[in-house]
Structure 1
Amino acid sequence: MELRINRRAVAGLGVAVALTASSLAALRIEPGTASSHREAPAIAGDPRNDNTDVYAFVSPDKPDTVTLLANWIPFEEPNGGPNFYTFDTNSRYNIKIDNDGDAKPDITYQWTFRNEDRRGNATFLYNQGPVTSLDDPDLLFRQRYTLKRLTRGGSRTLVADGIVAPSNAGPASMPDYGLLRRQSIRPVPGGQTFAGQSDEAFFLDLRVFDLLYGGDLSEVGQDTTKGYNVHTLGLQVPAADLALKGNVRRNPVIGVWSTTDKWSPRGYVQVSRLGQPLVNEVVVPAGLKDAFNALPPEKDAGIPAVVKRVTEPELPKLLEALYGVKAPTTPRKDLVEIFLTGIAKGNGPIMADLNSQTLNKDAGKLRPAEMLRLNMAIPPARNPNRLGVLAGDLQGFPNGRRLSDDVLDIALQAMAGAATTGRLVPALTDKVDANDKPFGSAFPYIPLPGNTSVNQQR
């Protein structure tokens, strides 16, 4: 397929290419990322069902496959025993794919969990000796899972009895945690899957919620999430398994989001949803946050209050009031492209064909909806840039999301209008540009969970 990426037009997106060396230094061009944690009142009290991040990218070591990662349970303190962190056995955890642009899931990968608890009244310990394998009898508590692939044509079980990599209880209990991670990776047709604890790869200075870094940018440079862990569901599958009609060349763009369905007297109810990072946190107002978590993407465009928060966003007004960064004129059609339709020449002012399902030759009419969109035909970058598309790296956010994409800085720049003006604002950065742990070179890429108490990280 011809990607039809207009490189001249992408100059408005790839603005960092034209910046001076001093400007680049001010922007600290290095690897980075961001997220949605405790983003709504109801889900803040239910962390096991709280989606924190979604990543979707062409696998750098296997470019004919796509890697999907979704995280849950924010701010896991590594020494949070004796009852360490688990997935909810009363919930269904989903990664959903829309490949035809109607904002409805064409493919759903769904995990459900069950507990195997042998502690009883005998002990309070998670394990009674060093755990050297997933089936070690010294591991007294473990979770097992079933993974299904759901389509409009039916359901297929991919993994019937997977084992979740346990919480990292510490070096005495788990002297080789990397081995446990490797043993937990299971094959699926054409790929592999993983469920278990991981390092909190989301990094930024969360003092953005203290009047946008103190009201004077004095509160920046602290990695607020350093030292915490999360629970990850990962999947690496052939790109053809995700593409409309299985044809990546004709239909390269997919939309991705995760949800949690929790059991209630009314049956399963969606209680959490996450596509692009930071949307529910800083785009949706407090009064709409719980409703947004329960909303399927297909209904987004029909809720005027949701659409208005994109076309008339609050954050640029705050940036202007606090820092004098002039807010772009509204309605913000550029943000509609980024958040709701994907980027394509026919969708709005950003003159590039990048990641809208309108680029899929076999797709029907596009239904605007918030999700993370990925063009699977764009190969991985040899040297990924933390600012992604804004720096001319077309494999980066908002074209999908890699672990190294600094989505907070990207989002701030996009809110300030960088996608259409071609200019970055050097001051708009939290100065947290890299994770404290390196990412892996093979699936699932996300670092191993830590076992050092967070209060020792400072």
Structure 2
Amino acid sequence: MTAFTRSLAALVSCALAAGGLAAAGVAALRPETAQASSHREAPLISGQPQYDTTDVYGFVSPDKPDTTTMVVNMLPFEDPAGGPNFYKFAHDARYDLHVDNNGDGQGDLLFRWTFKDHLRNGDTFLYNTGPVTSLEDPDLNFFQTYDIELIQLKDQHAVSRKKIAKNQLVAPSNVGKASMPKYQDLRDQAVYQLPGGGSTFAGQADDPFFLDLRVFDLLYGGDMSEVGQDSLKGYNVQSLALQLPTKMLTESEQQPVIGMWSTTHRKTANGDWAQVSRLGSPLVNEVVIPRKDKDKFNASSPWDDAQFLKSVQDPELARLVEQIYKIKAPPTPRDDLVQVFLTGVPKLNQPPNVRPAEMLRLNTSIKPTASPKRLGVLDGDNAGFPNGRRLTDDVLDISLQAVEGELVGKKNDLGDAVDENDQKFGGSFPYLAVPNSGSDATATKKSAGESLLNGGDGVGSSSDDTMLLAGSAAGGGGAVLLLALGYAWWRSHRRPARVRRH
């Protein structure tokens, strides 16, 4: 063990002993014991997607450099055509974003989102009963509203609470072009200004994380043959975005570094709140924390991260790369990765008197660049990951290269050949790309659809088909839908062989 590592371990132990959680009065602000995030990264949370945080982003706003933007995404792998019950935030959850502005590993500011469901007509299965042209359109049958509470903390005690947003409307799922002909208008309407400055957005978005997830097939097939495909292309997520004046988040101009992480709590059967998801830096729980500790990590807090120190100092991924690709792993213990994931990098984003704790650390005094480099700090762009995380940062390539020793002089070009998102990001808040439309997830060719409308079955046509659909058309829009559904059921039961041809 090096002198740096001994000092680190001692610092963690002292901090844990001196900074223990206060007991009474803060049960709602600390995780209850629970054994429950990136995309499906821990066993228990993979079965609770509404509560599963996929990614956290934090960056100095490129068009408003006196503000900081924070984004938290959840509910991975949303298929755009996944109706009739489209996607929503959980109404029985607390989605929390924590900000540590003095480096002690504990939250000083907590932003809490809570959601309410609203249903206009329970006598229909439809998400929308006609084209939706505004967030208040009565044709949007199901919608959500949300509140944001700002809780200021000291030693995990709440010293003040204030609602900074109330009953704001959520941008709906992008059902399709017929249902939402101008979805960008709905997105724009879901951006709200906050009192005192800042903006908020909640709703569906294109998943901004870009990578080839076939890394789990023995590191891209064992011979790098499985790279270059964005596994998240075409999928959406539920997104929370908050843009605030930077001076509201930092301790002072002299200490501009903030750390951030998200947690999700849900109610247990006995009415208590249990933490089921936690995420700071990308990929930590996914490829640094071993399986036996993944659920424990999701239920833990950064100030208890001494228990995961060994996984950071001796990462399994480096040993796997060495085993499969014969690229020599750097010697352990990995003090360079301790800086990336636990303390921040000196002279970049490490706060003074830092307490080692896993979170996304951002030096807000580093101004954004007009031409961001996807490899961030590794390519000389100090405004990017691991100094915070921008939407354009290629965190998989950065993490792979860092794990193989890029920061300690072992140059390498490891990567998944997916260098950017499939959709362009916006130039203003919330910066996220609009969600993929259900219209784009077509299962049949246009000619087949036209054949159905003309009385065929998508492959050919017959006179009895034409008569059935022609008769239903005379009964109005509702009758067309009901008879078409009945006709589809009849076909699937009477002539399954023809249905299988689609």
The normalised TM-score by structure 2 is: 0.78
Tell me how far 1:119 sits from its aligned partner. 2.7
Alignment of structure 1 residues 302-451 onto 2, 5 Å: 303=307, 306-344=308-346, 353-358=347-352, 365-421=353-409, 423-426=410-413, 428-451=414-437
> Structure 1 residues 456, 388: closer, same or farther in 2, change over 3 A?
farther
1:231-261 alpha-carbon deviations (Å, 9 max, x no partner): 00000000000001xx2x2011000111101
1:200 equivalent in structure 2: 207
Q: Is the 8 A contact 2:38 2:52 kept in 1?
A: no
RMSD: 1.3
Q: Is the 8 A contact 2:110 2:152 kept in 1?
A: yes
Measured in 1, the distance between the counterparts of 2:267 and 2:427 equals 37
- Describe the SS at the equivalent of 1:373: strand
Q: Read off the aligned partner of 1:253 and give its amino acid letter.
A: V
Q: Does 1:41 align with 2:46?
A: no
Measured in 2, the distance between the counterparts of 1:381 and 1:67 equals 15
2:291 equivalent in structure 1: 286
> Structure 1 residues 456, 397: closer, same or farther in 2, change over 3 A?
farther
1:365-401 alpha-carbon deviations (Å, 9 max, x no partner): 4221000000000000121000000000000000000
Q: Read off the aligned partner of 1:269 and give its amino acid letter.
A: A
1:14 equivalent in structure 2: none
> Structure 1 residues 206, 454: closer, same or farther in 2, change over 3 A?
farther
- Describe the SS at the equivalent of 2:220: helix
Q: Read off the aligned partner of 1:202 and give its amino acid letter.
A: F
> Structure 1 residues 293, 232: closer, same or farther in 2, change over 3 A?
same
Which of structures 1 and 2 has the larger relative contact order (alpha carbons within 8 angstroms, sep 6+)? 1
2:177 corresponds to which of 171, 174, 178: 171
- Identify unmatched segments of 5+ residues in structure 2: 1-36, 154-158, 445-502
1:262 corresponds to which of 262, 266, 280: 266
Measured in 1, the distance between the counterparts of 2:272 and 2:103 equals 28
Measured in 2, the distance between the counterparts of 1:456 and 1:447 equals 24
Q: Is the 8 A contact 2:98 2:109 kept in 1?
A: yes
Q: Does 1:142 align with 2:143?
A: yes
> Structure 1 residues 266, 123: closer, same or farther in 2, change over 3 A?
closer
1:300 corresponds to which of 301, 305, 313: 305
Q: Does 1:73 align with 2:80?
A: no
- Describe the SS at the equivalent of 2:150: strand
Tell me how far 1:63 sits from its aligned partner. 0.1
Q: Is the 8 A contact 1:110 1:147 kept in 2?
A: yes
- Describe the SS at the equivalent of 1:155: strand
Q: Is the 8 A contact 1:228 1:454 kept in 2?
A: no
> Structure 1 residues 199, 260: closer, same or farther in 2, change over 3 A?
same
- Describe the SS at the equivalent of 1:271: strand
Measured in 2, the distance between the counterparts of 1:102 and 1:384 equals 30
> Structure 1 residues 150, 393: closer, same or farther in 2, change over 3 A?
same
Tell me how far 1:105 sits from its aligned partner. 0.7
Tell me how far 1:455 sits from its aligned partner. 7.5
2:230 equivalent in structure 1: 223
Tell me how far 1:442 sits from its aligned partner. 0.1
Tell me how far 1:424 sits from its aligned partner. 2.9
Measured in 1, the distance between the counterparts of 2:389 and 2:443 equals 30
- Describe the SS at the equivalent of 1:41: coil
Measured in 2, the distance between the counterparts of 1:334 and 1:68 equals 26
2:160 equivalent in structure 1: 154
- Identify unmatched segments of 5+ residues in structure 1: 1-34, 345-352, 359-364
Q: Is the 8 A contact 1:98 1:255 kept in 2?
A: yes
1:211 equivalent in structure 2: 218
Measured in 2, the distance between the counterparts of 1:310 and 1:71 equals 24
Q: Which moved more, 1:378-387 or 1:182-191?
A: 182-191
1:15 equivalent in structure 2: none
Tell me how far 1:324 sits from its aligned partner. 1.1
Structure 1 stretches (4+) deviating beyond 2 angstroms? Answer: 452-457
1:28-61 alpha-carbon deviations (Å, 9 max, x no partner): xxxxxxx821100000000000000100000000
Q: Is the 8 A contact 1:226 1:454 kept in 2?
A: no
1:59-114 alpha-carbon deviations (Å, 9 max, x no partner): 00000000000000000000000000111111000111001111111001110001
Measured in 2, the distance between the counterparts of 1:455 and 1:324 equals 43
Measured in 2, the distance between the counterparts of 1:424 and 1:36 equals 27
Q: Is the 8 A contact 2:95 2:114 kept in 1?
A: yes
Query: Percentage identity across aligned positions?
Result: 56
Q: Does 1:128 align with 2:133?
A: no
Q: Is the 8 A contact 1:375 1:399 kept in 2?
A: yes
- Describe the SS at the equivalent of 1:89: coil
Measured in 1, the distance between the counterparts of 2:142 and 2:370 equals 42
2:193 equivalent in structure 1: 187
The normalised TM-score by structure 1 is: 0.86
Q: Is the 8 A contact 2:116 2:144 kept in 1?
A: yes
- Describe the SS at the equivalent of 2:44: helix
- Describe the SS at the equivalent of 1:445: coil
